[in-house]
Amino acid sequence: MRTELAPSLLATPEGRRADEILRACVHCGFCNATCPTYQQLGDELDGPRGRIYLIKGLLEYPDEPESVRIARTHLDRCLTCRACETTCPSGVRYAELLEIGRMRVEDGTHRGLGARLLRRLLTFVLPRRRLFRVLAGLGRSFRWMLPGVLTSHLPAGVNTRWPVPVARQRRVALLQGCVQDALTPQVNAQLASLLDRKGIEAVRVEDESCCGALALHLADQDRAQETMTRNVVALAAMVPDVEAILSTASGCGVTVKEYDRHLAGHERAGEAKVVAEATRDVAEYLREFQFDKRTDVDRVAFQPPCSLQHGQAITGVVEDILRGAGYELVAVADAHLCCGSAGTYSLLHSGMARTLRSEKLRRLTAARPHVIATANVGCQTHLGAGTNVPVMHWIELLR
Ligand code: SF4
Ligand code: SF4
């Protein structure tokens, strides 16, 4: 694609990077075939190729408020699922370009008061682990007073006890995550037990901060960098003492794995690279072990989160581990499509999120599984709110 970005923009690292990404796109449109919003809305501007053109326009003609407003509408509707990256034959780094485009949109337009307050509230509450845990607890107690879009993310009480710590030679750090720690704390508790049985000590990261994904998705670059930096400091200190930093939430994992890119040029860039290289999705770490079934169900439908299959390019690993434990994995059509959760997307675009969830659940339940398994807290709670079939993290199925 030919580009004509302003020289002032090309003088910045983000401008040069955007130019490089734009030039890699040959506007073939293959990516539209796997884009969930393009499939639903049928509008070129709600597909990756159209959004790439919109971002190009934003960067070439930054002073046209009407085009910035139009771009905002279509970039907001993007799930950041990255299915388009998996499909693209030219290796276009769409998500990176989208981050740059969204920042330009936030600089160039004013959102209404209600939208601004909601976005502020989300970036304030969700990354604060203790505050969110208290609010989630209150939400469970007073769920009858809350709107359905919120209560659907609040599952009932669960077992969250970790095994009694025993010092081991093999140790891993376990990312707790802010949302996961409040909504599905049983997942990490179960992983800590699994590791304990394999002779591996799971260590909590005491000063862990939000991974920064939520602020990043809402184009709040300053807040994202601030929380990432705090996390880098906490995690880098642990790296010498552990084999790996493990994440059971693929949405957090994909962000931490890209800290070197997010903090490039930052004073903590070196530590960010160390942390990024030490981080693994739990499936990558556990693939060398054999597990048994923990439940009496047989048929499992696995939903690979976008952050796992597209963001981290991990495919088939969870399925192999579950099969190895004795589960039957049922076939699921169009597994590449997003379920509609997508971070804060299900709260900000609830209509589209519900439509995508219905379609995803139709495919997931077509072969009548006993349970749906997934690998990210957002997908787990979002899908769980739309079906009577139990939705669990796949770690919960093993012992
Ligand atoms: S598939 Fe890749 S090269 Fe083709 S239009 Fe989409 S982003 Fe551009
Ligand atoms: S990230 Fe997902 S929703 Fe956004 S353009 Fe790519 S495929 Fe479409």
CA 85 – ligand 2 centroid, Å: 8
Using CB distances shorter than 6 Å, the residues near ligand 2 are 35-37, 48, 51, 78-84, 94
Specify the pTM. Answer: 0.90
SS3 assignment, position 263: coil
pLDDT of 155: 46
Query: 221 CB contacts (<8 Å, ≥6 apart)?
Result: 103, 215
| pLDDT band of 154, cuts 50, 70, 90 | very low
CA 29 – ligand 1 centroid, Å: 5
pLDDT of 107: 84
H helix and E strand count, the chain: 23, 8
Averaged pLDDT score across all residues of the chain:
91
Q: Is the dihedral of CA 271, 272, 277, 278 positive or negative?
A: positive
Domains 129-286 and 299-397 share a fold: yes
- Nearest ligand, CA 83: 2
pLDDT tens, residue by residue, 222-267: 899 999 999 999 999 999 999 999 999 999 999 999 999 999 999 9
SS3 assignment, position 170: strand
Mutation choice for ligand 1 from 27, 78, 81, 98, CB with most ligand atoms inside 8 A: 27
Phi, psi of 289 (to 5 degrees): -105, 160
pLDDT tens, residue by residue, 198-210: 999 999 988 888 8
Whether 28 is in the pocket of ligand 1, judged by its Cβ within 6 Å, is: yes
**131 pLDDT higher than 70:** no
Are residues 179 and 165 in contact, defined by beta-carbon separation less than 8 angstroms?
no
Q: Does domain 129-286 have CATH number 3.10.20?
A: no
Residue nearest to atom 6 of ligand 1 (CA): 31
Work out the average pLDDT over 110-115: 82
Q: Which atom of ligand 2 is nearest to the CA of 83?
A: 7
pLDDT tens, residue by residue, 319-374: 999 999 999 999 999 999 999 999 889 999 999 999 999 999 999 999 999 999 99
Q: Which fold has domain 299-397?
A: Rossmann fold (3.40.50)
Q: Which helix (H) or strand (E) holds 200?
A: strand 200-204
Q: Long-range contacts for 377-380 (Cβ within 8 Å, ≥24 apart)?
A: 377/177, 377/179, 377/180, 377/183, 377/184, 377/187, 377/249, 377/251, 378/179, 378/249, 378/251, 378/305, 378/341, 378/342, 378/343, 378/346, 379/303, 379/305, 379/339, 379/341, 380/184
Q: Does domain 7-108 have CATH number 1.10.1060.10?
A: yes
Domain positions in the chain are 7-108, 129-286, 299-397
Lowest-confidence segment of 134-148, 204-218, 268-282 by average pLDDT: 134-148
CA 168 – ligand 2 centroid, Å: 43
Q: Is the dihedral of CA 220, 223, 229, 235 positive or negative?
A: negative
